[in-house]
Each structure stands twice: as C-alpha cells, then as structure tokens.
C-alpha cells in the first residue's frame, strides 16, 4: 500500500466498517510512522479491490484490518490477502492473531478456513455489547 492508494483504500474502509472506520490520517500514520506496520493491497485491472494490514513485533504478528470491496467479495480476494499475510508474517513471526466481531460470519469462516483457532472473547471490543473473538494461529508448523 502506498500513499497514492489511500483514497481507494479509504473508500473500501468506510463501506466495510461504517461505524468503526479508520480515518485517512490513521492509514497515513501506519504507512509513514509505524515501523512495525506492513500494509498491502490487491488490484484487479489497475483498481484496488482489497487491502490488509498487520503489525509485526519481534516474533508476534497481528492483523489490524482486512477488507474487500463489496462488489468484489466472494471471488477469493480475501483468501489471497490472508494467505499473503500469513506468508509474510512467517518470515519473522511464530504467531499470527486478530480480533473479529462475534457476528461477522463471513470473516470468521475465512479465518477458520485459513487455520485460525479461537483464543477467547474480548468483551466490548467494538463498543458496548459488541464483543470480539480473539483468533490466532501458529506459523511455520
Ligand atoms: C471478510 C472478507 C475480507 C472476505 O473477503 P472475500 O473476498 O469475500 O472472501 P473470499 O471470496 O476469499 O472467501 C474466502 C472464504 O470466506 C468465507 N466467505 C466469503 N463470503 C462468505 C459468505 N457470504 N458467507 C459465508 N462465508 C463467506 C468462506 O469461507 C470463503 O471460503 P469458500 O469460498 O471456500 O467458502 C470480506 O467479506 C470483507 O471485506 N468484509 C467486510 C470487512 C470485514 O468484515 N473485514 C474483517 C474484519 S475482522
């Protein structure tokens, strides 16, 4: 992901997470000031159709965000993004984790298929009454 990509990424972000979307400054900070961050996009015919971000700190890695444009969902882009994240993280990390809203069935299915395990519940993670599953997997096994 580059600074030039941010407008397209932000459009997908707002459509994907209408109540909890990050602002442009948050993405910009991740790209320019967070030495632990790695963000990447997937393109179709020159247009960004999805993106994913992660933090890598010593031997642990964490997905911070992943989304595919609404009209491009269900075509394997989410899986491709996650498989790239896993491959990249496995160069340095032993564990990859993430949080996902307990009612986000599509994302949970994707994570289960990609080998994530349930690690517990974070109460009110997305706001009052909006709990998250912590999911995690070992890399390089
Ligand atoms: C979650 C998300 C990234 C998946 O992207 P995608 O490109 O649609 O997913 P894929 O086409 O690669 O499908 C991968 C798997 O996801 C699951 N999945 C995808 N669409 C699904 C649906 N409508 N219902 C149930 N499971 C679904 C399936 O397990 C699928 O595997 P399968 O095709 O072998 O059944 C996408 O739905 C999205 O951007 N959602 C909004 C943002 C979001 O919630 N991000 C996650 C935050 S934690």
125 is catalytic: no
What's the pLDDT score for residue 107? 98
Burial state string for 55-87 with b = 16 or more CB within 10 A and e = fewer than 16: bbeeebbbbbbbbbbeebeeeebbeebbeebbe
Do 91 and 59 form a contact (C-beta atoms < 8 A)?
no
112 is catalytic: no
- Closest residue by CA, ligand 1 atom 44: 107
Half-sphere exposure of residue 96: CA atoms within 13 angstroms, side-chain side: 25
Distance (Å, rounded) from C-alpha 64 to C-alpha 54? 5
For residue 31, how far is its CA from the centre of ligand 1 (angstroms)? Answer: 25
End-to-end C-alpha distance for the chain, whole angstroms: 28
What's the pLDDT score for residue 141? 80
Domain that holds residue 99: 3-138
Helices and strands (H, E) in the chain, number of each type: 4, 6
Distance (Å, rounded) from C-alpha 100 to C-alpha 107? 7
Do 140 and 90 form a contact (C-beta atoms < 8 A)?
yes
Distance (Å, rounded) from C-alpha 42 to C-alpha 50? 5
φ, ψ of residue 97 in degrees (nearest 5): -135, 170
Element (H, E) at 84: helix 77-89
**Residue 106 in contact with ligand 1 by CB distance below 6 A:** yes
Which residue ranges in the chain fall short of pLDDT 70?
Answer: none
What's the pLDDT score for residue 19? 87
**Residue 83 in contact with ligand 1 by CB distance below 6 A:** no
Do 58 and 73 form a contact (C-beta atoms < 8 A)?
no
Q: Which atom of ligand 1 is nearest to the CA of 17?
A: 42
Domain CATH number, residue 55? 3.40.630.30
Q: Which atom of ligand 1 is nearest to the CA of 63?
A: 48
Could you give the number of structural domains in the chain?
A: 1
What's the pLDDT score for residue 73? 98
**Mean of the per-residue pLDDT values of the chain:** 97
Q: What is the pLDDT of residues 65-104, one digit of tens each?
A: 999 999 999 999 999 999 999 999 999 999 999 999 999 9
**Residue 78 in contact with ligand 1 by CB distance below 6 A:** yes
For residue 58, how far is its CA from the centre of ligand 1 (angstroms)? Answer: 29
């Amino acid at each position: 992901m580059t600074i030039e990509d941010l407008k397209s990424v932000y459009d997908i972000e707002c459509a994907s997470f209408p109540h909890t979307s990050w602002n442009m400054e948050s993405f910009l900070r991740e790209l320019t000031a967070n030495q632990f961050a790695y963000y990447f996009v997937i393109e179709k015919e020159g247009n960004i159709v999805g993106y994913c971000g992660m933090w890598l700190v010593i031997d642990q890695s964490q997905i911070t965000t992943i989304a595919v444009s609404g009209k491009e969902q269900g075509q394997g882009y989410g899986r491709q993004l996650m498989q790239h994240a896993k491959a990249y993280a496995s160069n340095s990390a032993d564990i990859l984790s993430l949080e996902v809203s307990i009612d986000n069935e599509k994302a949970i299915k994707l994570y289960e298929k990609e080998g994530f395990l349930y690690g517990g519940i974070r109460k009110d993670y997305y706001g009052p009454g909006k709990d998250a599953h912590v999911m995690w997997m070992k890399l390089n096994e």
